[in-house]
Amino acid sequence: MRTARIKEEGEGWYHVVSRTAFQLFKFDNGDKEMFVRMMRRVASFCGVEILNHCVMSNHFHILLHVPEPIEITEDVLLERIGALYGEDNAKALREHWGNLRKMRDFATLEKEQGQFRRRMGDMSEFMKTLKQRFSIWYRHQHESFSGTLWEGRFKSVILQGSQAILSAVSAYIDLNPVRARMVDDPRKYKWSGYGSAMAGDADSMRGIARVFKPDATDADFIAMAENAYCEILYVKGCDAMGDDVVRDVVARKGKLPMNQLLRCRVRHFLSGVCVGEESFVESFFRSHRGIFGPARKRGARSIGICGDWCGIRLCTARNLKKDAIVARA
């Protein structure tokens, strides 16, 4: 039996990752393009916010913000249904629900609307809908494909919703194609948030801007977020050491500055359960005490290989000792 996925109550920020089965390189450029379009539609339906993303050939990363729950009126519900299932379906449902209301069949009306509302404002439902719908599309597009597209469950890490933490994870996501040696500059990769933002995509511009300011618009990307984010990617995130130097630092239990750490594959960002400042991780530990062993006294585990980031010490809820940092993987 699967263990329940750990999620925040109410508002939360997540780094979610899912890979193809056997990590096969299944996605060509057209597949990546469709994935991004579908991701946007599913996000509109679920009422969640994509802050950043990167679609690679065998996996994807999403930096996701789930807002505080709100009351969803019928008009808003139909608008979200239209975003995912099309305006014709939303129009037909509006007429159908109107007829149920005329017949005073409020039980059926509430049941049908409730089935949609339960899928909104939830990270797991967003990922489930996205992966299922993309799988269906992929099978139709690639008729020769058979078998399972995805490798089991997706991974999710709860993040502290501060600028320092979100900017670190966002940069880590945008540097994926650089880490994989697919491009030498993150702005050249169009299926990432930064690459598409630099190409003028309003959704990506707004998402990255909201890493720095929660109510930012796409216009704020150039006015406010671009300079700060460029500093992270091109000053703090560049000038990477060679693989052999990184391995030597790790072996000597030394510390990597954040600009080097972001150029490595960091398991804490993928499997750390929770990432943030020490106080944030300790609060998470107390709130979810039952998932940890009885002998454990404290929750926060410092990402010891990492130097300070924006004046804070990055911590995680898991003590990942084996292969915690992998150079350029």
Round to whole Å and give the CA distance between 197 and 221.
8
pLDDT at 278: 86
* Domain presence at residue 65: no
* Domain presence at residue 255: yes
* Domain presence at residue 322: yes
Which two tokens mark 60? Answer: 């994807």
* Domain presence at residue 283: yes
Per-residue pLDDT in tens (0 to 9) along the chain, 329 residues: 455 677 778 899 999 999 999 888 889 999 999 999 999 999 999 999 999 999 999 999 999 999 999 999 999 999 999 999 999 999 999 999 999 999 999 999 999 999 999 999 999 999 999 999 999 999 999 987 878 899 988 999 999 999 989 998 998 899 899 888 898 888 899 999 999 999 999 999 999 999 999 999 999 998 877 778 887 777 554 444 444 444 554 444 445 566 666 666 666 777 778 888 888 988 888 888 877 877 777 878 877 666 556 667 778 887 765 444 344 44
CA angle 163, 56, 3 (to 5 degrees): 70
* Domain presence at residue 107: yes
pLDDT at 56: 96
Which two tokens mark 7? Answer: 């999620």
Round to whole Å and give the CA distance between 284 and 298.
11
pLDDT at 145: 81
In this prediction the pTM is 0.87
pLDDT at 239: 43
Which two tokens mark 85? Answer: 């299932």
Round to whole Å and give the CA distance between 130 and 116.
15
Give the residue numbers spanning the domain of 83. 74-117
* Domain presence at residue 310: yes
90 neighbors 79 (Cβ within 8 angstroms): yes
Buried b / exposed e along 206-224 (16+ C-beta atoms within 10 A): bbbbbbbeeebebebbeee
pLDDT at 319: 72
- Domain end, chosen from 82, 117, 152, is at 117
* Domain presence at residue 250: yes
DSSP string, 88-143: HHHHHHHHHHHHHHHTT-HHHHHHHHHHHHTTSS-HHHHHHHHHHHHHHHHHHH-T
